[in-house]
Amino acid sequence: MQIIRPLTICLLSGTLLAVACSEGVKKDEKPVDVQEMTKNQPETHGAELKESDVVVSNPLNTEWVSAGKGIYEMKCQSCHRLTGEKLVGPGWKDVTKRRKPVWIMNMITNVDMMLEKDPDAQKLLEQCMVRMPNQNLAKEDARKVLEFMRNNDGEK
């Protein structure tokens, strides 16, 4: 995440030169170096998840399915149908068969990073033309949404 953070900030500030961000900033005599803070803006997204960070198992956790449904209705339903129908974003039917769990989790919790470097995410942006919003889900919440997706795809 330490590597990702400056990249994301560059994206936010519209600067694409990663070098500009990673250059050392001269410290002056002041105790607070605000220039340094441009690099240290707290990240609104979670850390990038590795494959080993996401464990799926059966049977499904029914509490997570139900909590995931609630989060879906509040934060996702406006753009994603539970069928295969594309609305703003792709329909969720069979998404867990198309994508690895870690891909889905990163797409939810770390969308700017995914749009920056993941070819499949970039392809989706080209199709949908709307950047998927960061809906500010904690990792735990995203995991519950994933469980709800698995349920939607017929897993038991």
Partner 1 sequence: MKFFSHKTLLATLVLAGASLQMLGCKPKGSQAAISGDAALKTYVAPGKYDEFYDFVSGGFSGQMSVYGLPSGRLLRVIPVFSVDPEKGYGYSEESKAMLSTSNGFIPWDDLHHIALSETNGLHDGRWVFANANNTPRIARVDLKTFRTVEIIEIPNSAGNHSSPFITENSEYVVAGTRFSIPLGDNTDVPISSYKQNFKGTVSFINIDKNSGEMNLAFQILTPGVNFDLARAGKGKSHGWVFFSCYNSEKANTLLEVNASQKDKDFIMAVNWKKAEEYLKAGKGVKKTVKYTHNQYDEKKHSATSTTMNEVLVLDPKDCPDMVYFMPCPKSPHGCDTDPTGEYIVGSGKLAATIPVFSFTKIQKAIADKNFDGTYDDIPVLKYDAVLHGEVQKPGLGPLHTEFDDQGNAYTSFFVSSEIVKWNIKDLKVLDRVPTYYSIGHLSVPGGPTRKPWGKYVIAYNKITKDRYLPTGPELSQSAQLYDISGDKMKLLLDFPTIGEPHYGEAIPAELVMKNSQKIYKIEENAHPAAAKGDNYTRVERKGNEVHVYMTAIRSHFTPDNIEGVKLGETVYFHVTNLEQDWDIPHGFAIKGANNAELLIMPGETQTLKWVPEKAGVFPFYCTDFCSALHQEMQGYIRVSAPGSNVPIIYGTGTIKAAADYKATDGKTK
Contact footprint for partner 1 (CB under 8 A)? 13-15, 20, 30, 32, 34-35, 37-38, 44, 73-75, 77-79, 87-88, 129-131, 133-137
Nearer to partner 1, 75 or 93 (CB): 75
**Do 125 and 116 meet the contact criterion of CB atoms below 8 Å apart?**
no
Q: Write down the least CB distance from residue 148 to partner 1, Å.
A: 14
Q: Give the nearest distance from C-beta 38 to partner 1 in angstroms.
A: 5
Would you state the structure tokens that stand for residue 24, as one six-digit string? 């050392």
**How many beta carbons lie within 10 A of that of residue 105, not counting itself?**
23
Q: Output 56 or 79, the one with its CB closest to partner 1.
A: 79
Residue whose CB is less far from partner 1, 1 or 20: 20
Closer to partner 1 at the Cβ: 13 or 100?
A: 13
Amino acid type, 110: N
Distance CA 43, CA 70 (A): 25
Please state, as a whole number, how many other Cβ atoms lie within 10 Å of the Cβ of residue 146: 23
DSSP secondary structure, 14-69, as one string: T---HHHHHS-----SSS--HHHHTT-PPPSS-PPPPGGG----SS--HHHHHHHH
Smallest separation, CB 115 to partner 1 (Å): 13
- Minimum Å distance from CB 25 to partner 1? 9
- Compute the least distance from the CB of residue 87 to partner 1, in Å: 7
Nearer to partner 1, 15 or 122 (CB): 15
